[in-house]
């Protein structure tokens, strides 16, 4: 029944910001995925008879990968392996299922916002029993094991039919194929007033949700059109496709441009929204009003108490370091704590578990709360809907009022994608060396108050994470941040984050790129971007 196969390590199986991501062709090499899954299994203790949750975003290679994980998890001694029907589970739904079942952990198959299909990307990550991404201590152990793994252990069994709900024996284990949407919908109903949102739609409120042919289609259709009575056709691209219909499932102004144009048209819907490949990101655009993800975190934190799930108020807010400081102002006004963490949801887990924060967010269109331990795209959309249903104002009015109350953070991220890794690394090394000398330097009207390489001390488990991004802080409160992406699969991606706070409401109507133009010019001067990457302009501006 148990089959053991010898193997040798593959180089480069180091998890990045969110799991191991590579080109599909890399994962298709014989034993490649198997080695990584074995390294996960070998790093886990006390799994006998325990439950493992398993699912993915439905991208190309998802089904093959699920079968491999089932065989290896059963051989590891897990008692129950819970899989979403069709191998589908959105990342937040997987997190919820882990928590609800009291599972030992979960394996999520996704490369999130990266393109899919045979020429696209694939990914895998391990989540722990709190439902969240494994912390660095565990991902480091998994990586270490990939360097020594020498045998693969499987239960020898035919493929499981993933399309049929029910329980199926695999060796000593039971594989349970579950409806991927049901439990998640119950959770959303417990947090939000579905009657109130139904009344909003009944009053003529119009919405468009672009599922980008990725995992949120079934969730959004069941909840928005099914439970909440949004008009049929509200959800577009609602069927998950292995190649996402050839599109790039990243809900930003570049890859969801059609949605943006619709939102800007005079007869467009009241709310346009989208999510990414695995359902954890959100894009929010009101009629004529794009909401930057950083503003969205702040606005949701300011208004969360209007939803029944947060009626008692929120304990604190956490944001990743590159995310604009808009949320800090809300926390300050509410007299609650604000935490600044490195990029990646895994750093929020301890804060959420300890009850120190309720709402978390990242500038990369990720927002979430303590309801799960992942960011959650549809949750953010539903919280917006509940706030709109309560305040009965437009998105634009809510955003303007927010700025008038707290001030506005002009914010933009400039990505230089797929540049040569050597140049990008040289740039970071050079910047690091420059840091001590930057303090006090003046560039035009800007003076550098401080410059460092961000380090995080986790207040809950005492762990330290260094080299998390170069920060240049100006005396006026503006910030310039440089870091390299940890989710790409080709070359390096340089991200430059630009943040400027403007209190004066008379100055809140400027174009973002103009309002930031001096800081953007300075990013080139200080970083030597063109010299190191050969690029004059970014590939994507969000």
Site of interaction with ligand VG1 (CB under 6 A): 17-18, 112-113, 276, 280-281, 320, 343-345, 362, 364, 366, 485-487, 495
Active-site residue (options: 110, 112, 296, 369): 112
How far is it, in rounded angstroms, from Cα 162 to Cα 172? 19
DSSP-derived secondary structure letter, 246? G
Kindly give the pairing relationship between strand 121-127 and strand 20-23: antiparallel
Partner whose binding site includes residue 487, from Co ion, ligand VG1, none (CB under 5 to 8 Å by kind): ligand VG1
363 binds Co ion (CB under 5 A): no
What is the smallest separation between the CB atom of 323 and Co ion, expressed in angstroms?
16
- Which residue's Cβ lies closest to ligand VG1? 112
Among 42, 210, 225, 280, binds Co ion (CB under 5 A): 280
343 binds Co ion (CB under 5 A): no
Kindly give the pairing relationship between strand 121-127 and strand 105-109: antiparallel
155 or 480, CB closer to ligand VG1?
A: 480
57 or 225, CB closer to ligand VG1?
A: 57
How far is it, in rounded angstroms, from Cα 494 to Cα 89? 30
Partner whose binding site includes residue 366, from ligand VG1, Co ion, none (CB under 5 to 8 Å by kind): ligand VG1
Residues 188, 189, 190: CA angle, nearest 5 degrees:
90
What is the smallest separation between the CB atom of 306 and ligand VG1, expressed in angstroms?
26
Partner whose binding site includes residue 364, from Co ion, ligand VG1, none (CB under 5 to 8 Å by kind): ligand VG1
Partner whose binding site includes residue 17, from ligand VG1, Co ion, none (CB under 5 to 8 Å by kind): ligand VG1
What is the smallest separation between the CB atom of 497 and ligand VG1, expressed in angstroms?
9
> Which of 255, 208, 242 has the alpha carbon at shortest distance from 59?
242
How far is it, in rounded angstroms, from Cα 71 to Cα 168? 13
How far is it, in rounded angstroms, from Cα 177 to Cα 86? 8
> Which of 327, 326, 297 has the alpha carbon at shortest distance from 411?
326
280 or 328, CB closer to Co ion?
A: 280
Phi-psi region of 469 (alpha: psi -120 to 50; beta: other; left: phi over 0): left
221 binds Co ion (CB under 5 A): no
What is the smallest separation between the CB atom of 133 and ligand VG1, expressed in angstroms?
9
User: Containing H/E element for 67?
Assistant: helix 62-76
394 or 485, CB closer to ligand VG1?
A: 485
Partner whose binding site includes residue 90, from ligand VG1, Co ion, none (CB under 5 to 8 Å by kind): none
What is the smallest separation between the CB atom of 112 and Co ion, expressed in angstroms?
3
**10 Å Cβ neighbour count for 445?**
8
What is the smallest separation between the CB atom of 345 and ligand VG1, expressed in angstroms?
5
Q: CB within 8 A of 280, min separation 6: which ones?
A: 90, 91, 92, 112, 345, 366, 368, 374, 375, 376, 377
270 binds Co ion (CB under 5 A): no
42 or 278, CB closer to Co ion?
A: 278
Contact 123, 498 (CB under 8 A): no
What is the smallest separation between the CB atom of 208 and ligand VG1, expressed in angstroms?
21
Partner whose binding site includes residue 394, from ligand VG1, Co ion, none (CB under 5 to 8 Å by kind): none
Contact 178, 85 (CB under 8 A): yes
154 or 416, CB closer to ligand VG1?
A: 416
Beta strand extents in 141-190 (DSSP E only): 151-155, 166-170, 173-178
With contacts defined by CB under 5 A, name the span among 107-115, 191-199, 211-219, 405-413 that binds Co ion.
Answer: 107-115
With contacts defined by CB under 5 A, name the span among 153-161, 243-251, 274-282, 479-487 that binds Co ion.
Answer: 274-282
Kindly give the pairing relationship between strand 173-178 and strand 166-170: antiparallel
How far is it, in rounded angstroms, from Cα 77 to Cα 172? 8
What is the smallest separation between the CB atom of 113 and ligand VG1, expressed in angstroms?
5
Partner whose binding site includes residue 469, from ligand VG1, Co ion, none (CB under 5 to 8 Å by kind): none
126 or 345, CB closer to ligand VG1?
A: 345
Q: What is the DSSP string of 376-415?
A: -HHHHHHHHHHHHHHH---HHHHHHHHHHHH-EEEEEEEE
370 binds Co ion (CB under 5 A): no
What is the smallest separation between the CB atom of 409 and ligand VG1, expressed in angstroms?
17
**Length of the chain measured in residues:** 542
**In the chain, helix, strand, coil percent, each to 5?**
35, 25, 40
112 binds Co ion (CB under 5 A): yes
276 binds Co ion (CB under 5 A): yes
How far is it, in rounded angstroms, from Cα 272 to Cα 286? 6
Packing angle between helix 293-303 and helix 395-406, nearest 10 degrees?
Answer: 80
328 or 415, CB closer to ligand VG1?
A: 415
Q: Which two tokens stand for residue 231?
A: 């008009």
With contacts defined by CB under 5 A, name the span among 106-114, 175-183, 252-260, 320-328 that binds Co ion.
Answer: 106-114
How far is it, in rounded angstroms, from Cα 314 to Cα 237? 34
Among 57, 270, 278, 374, binds Co ion (CB under 5 A): 278
Active-site residue flag, 296: no
Which residues participate in catalysis according to the annotation? 112
Binding residues (CB under 5 A) for Co ion: these are 112, 276, 278, 280-281
């Amino acid at each position: 029944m148990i089959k053991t196969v010898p193997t040798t390590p593959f180089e480069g199986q180091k998890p990045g910001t969110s799991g191991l991501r590579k080109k599909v062709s890399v994962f298709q090499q014989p034993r490649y995925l198997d080695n990584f899954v074995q390294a996960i299994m070998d790093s886990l203790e006390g799994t006998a008879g325990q439950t493992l949750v398993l699912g993915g975003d439905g991208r190309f290679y998802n089904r093959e990968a699920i079968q491999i994980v089932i065989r290896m998890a059963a051989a590891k001694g897990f008692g129950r392996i819970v899989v979403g029907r069709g191998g589908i589970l959105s990342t937040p739904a997987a997190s919820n299922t882990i928590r609800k079942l009291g599972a030992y952990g979960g394996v999520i198959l996704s490369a999130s916002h990266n393109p899919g299909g045979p020429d696209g990307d694939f990914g895998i990550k391990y989540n722990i029993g709190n439902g969240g991404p494994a912390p660095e201590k565990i991902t480091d152990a998994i990586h270490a094991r990939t360097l020594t793994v020498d045998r693969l252990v499987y239960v020898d069994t035919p493929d499981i039919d993933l399309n049929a709900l029910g329980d199926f024996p695999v060796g000593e284990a039971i594989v349970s194929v579950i409806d991927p949407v049901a439990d998640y919908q119950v959770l959303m109903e417990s947090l939000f007033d579905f009657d109130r949102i139904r009344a909003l739609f009944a009053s003529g409120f119009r919405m468009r949700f672009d599922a980008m042919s990725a995992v949120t289609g079934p969730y959004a259709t069941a909840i928005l059109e099914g439970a909440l009575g949004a008009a049929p056709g509200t959800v577009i691209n609602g069927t998950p496709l292995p190649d996402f219909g050839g599109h790039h499932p990243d809900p930003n102004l570049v890859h969801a441009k059609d949605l943006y144009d619709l939102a800007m048209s005079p007869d467009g819907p009241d709310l346009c929204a989208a999510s990414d490949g695995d359902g954890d990101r959100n894009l929010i655009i009101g009629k004529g009003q794009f909401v930057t993800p950083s503003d969205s975190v702040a606005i949701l934190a300011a208004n969360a108490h209007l939803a029944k799930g947060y009626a008692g108020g929120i304990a604190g807010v956490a944001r990743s370091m590159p995310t604009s400081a808009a949320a800090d102002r809300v926390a300050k006004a509410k007299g609650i704590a604000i935490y600044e963490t490195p990029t990646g949801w895994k750093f929020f887990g301890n804060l959420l578990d300890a009850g120190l924060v309720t709402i978390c967010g990242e500038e990369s269109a990720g927002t979430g709360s303590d309801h799960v331990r992942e960011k959650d795209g549809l949750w953010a959309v539903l919280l917006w809907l509940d706030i709109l249903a309560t305040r009965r104002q437009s998105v634009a009015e809510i955003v303007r009022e927010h700025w008038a109350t707290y001030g506005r953070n002009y914010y933009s991220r400039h990505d230089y994608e797929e540049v040569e890794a050597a140049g990008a690394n040289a740039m970071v090394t050079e910047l690091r060396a420059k840091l001590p000398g930057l303090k006090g330097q003046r560039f035009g009207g800007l003076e550098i108050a401080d410059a460092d390489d961000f380090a995080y001390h986790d207040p809950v488990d005492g762990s330290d994470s260094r080299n998390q991004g170069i920060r240049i802080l100006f005396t006026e409160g503006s910030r310039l941040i440089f870091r390299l992406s940890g989710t790409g699969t080709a070359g390096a991606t340089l991200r430059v984050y630009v943040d400027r706070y403007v209190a004066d409401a008379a100055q809140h109507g400027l174009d973002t790129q103009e309002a930031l133009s001096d800081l953007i010019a300075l990013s080139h001067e200080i970083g030597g971007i063109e010299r190191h990457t050969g690029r004059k302009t970014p590939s994507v501006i969000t």
